[in-house]
């Protein structure tokens, strides 16, 4: 896809991967709408992106509010005429073993990481069907490929995103809408942001090193997903080994390999993003 003049919605676009992606989209000549809960950070992001020469629209949005999401999808049509790109980036993580957290925290995890993606996609996709054109990028996770101790419900939500993305791709193909593209993005632990402090052991980090910053993922979204049209993008690329080895090894040996890499204890040092 040639991105110059394209229009995009980025959920959770005021910080982290969302902001880094918005910067790259602006540099490619896109018009960008940001939805985010944090109005202070969103105002900062708008100024920063406009200073890069971007045309930016920002709206406070709790993406778990399906009524608000539907309203803002229509507002995006008014502001930008149509939506070429939807990046479902907004995410929520609460670390801890399954019984360490009240069930309400797990409900919030599912609401933000899965239900909100369904709401935004359901609101924007009809515009894309009308034009048989568009690209929806859904942020999954390395935890959407393998199970992770201390991250069970988050992993469940991100496995769901991978399945949702693939299923919707097949649906659009079955309706002859091959002009609509779908990509799932699977980042491993980043050194900063939502997963600060989480890491594999020495062996695991050799095989699947930490992602050094948000722009690594933003570059993957813009260059690999949008411009090259890749269906699934993993960072680091060595995450592909998990798919290959799961198919080759017995279930028992594959699980033992993950333990040897420290996947089961990788959340023990988790701090996360500072809440302000």
Domain locations in the chain? Answer: 7-265
Catalytic residue among 59, 92, 154, 189: 154
User: Which helix (DSSP H) or strand (DSSP E) does residue 55 occupy?
Assistant: strand 55-60
Cα–Cα distance measured from residue 230 to residue 225, given in angstroms and rounded to the nearest whole number: 5
pLDDT per residue as tens, the chain (276 positions): 899 999 999 999 999 999 999 999 999 999 999 999 999 999 999 999 999 999 999 999 999 999 999 999 999 999 999 999 999 999 999 989 999 999 999 999 999 999 999 999 999 999 999 999 999 999 999 999 999 999 999 999 999 999 999 999 999 999 999 999 999 999 999 998 889 999 999 999 999 999 999 999 999 999 999 999 999 999 999 999 999 999 999 999 999 999 999 999 999 999 887 543
Buried b (16+ CB within 10 A) or exposed e, 227-243: eeebebbbbbeebeebe
User: Which helix (DSSP H) or strand (DSSP E) does residue 87 occupy?
Assistant: strand 85-88
pTM of the model: 0.95
Cα–Cα distance measured from residue 150 to residue 96, given in angstroms and rounded to the nearest whole number: 5
Among 251, 273, 263, 267, which Cα is nearest to 97's? 267
Fold assignment, 7-265? Rossmann fold (3.40.50)
Mean pLDDT of the chain: 96
Specify the residue for token string 């040092």: 269
154 is catalytic: yes
State the DSSP code for 210. P
């Amino acid at each position: 896809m040639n991105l110059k003049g394209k229009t995009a919605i980025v959920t959770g676009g005021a910080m982290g991967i969302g902001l880094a992606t918005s910067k790259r989209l602006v540099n490619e000549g896109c018009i960008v709408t940001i939805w985010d809960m944090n109005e202070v950070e969103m105002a900062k992001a708008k100024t920063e992106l406009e200073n890069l020469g971007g045309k930016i629209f920002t709206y406070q949005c709790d993406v778990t509010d399906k009524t608000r999401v539907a309203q803002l999808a229509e507002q995006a049509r008014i502001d930008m005429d149509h939506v070429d790109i939807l990046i479902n980036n907004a995410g929520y993580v609460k670390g801890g073993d399954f019984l360490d957290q009240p069930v309400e925290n797990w409900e919030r995890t599912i609401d933000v990481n899965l239900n909100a993606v369904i709401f935004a996609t359901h609101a924007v996709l009809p515009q894309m069907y009308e034009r048989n054109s568009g690209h929806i990028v859904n942020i999954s996770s390395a935890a959407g490929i393998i199970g992770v101790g201390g991250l069970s419900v988050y992993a469940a939500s991100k496995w769901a995103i991978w399945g949702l993305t693939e299923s919707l791709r097949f649906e659009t193909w079955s309706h002859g809408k091959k002009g609509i593209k779908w990509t799932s993005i699977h980042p491993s632990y980043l050194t900063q942001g939502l997963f600060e402090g989480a890491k594999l052991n020495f062996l695991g980090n050799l095989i699947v090193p930490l992602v050094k910053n948000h722009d690594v993922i933003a570059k993957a979204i813009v260059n690999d997903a949008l411009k090259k049209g890749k269906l699934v993008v993993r960072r680091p690329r060595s995450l592909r080994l998990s798919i290959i080895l799961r198919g080759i090894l017995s279930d028992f040996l594959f699980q033992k390999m993950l333990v040897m890499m420290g996947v089961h204890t990788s959340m023990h040092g988790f701090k996360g993003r500072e809440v302000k």
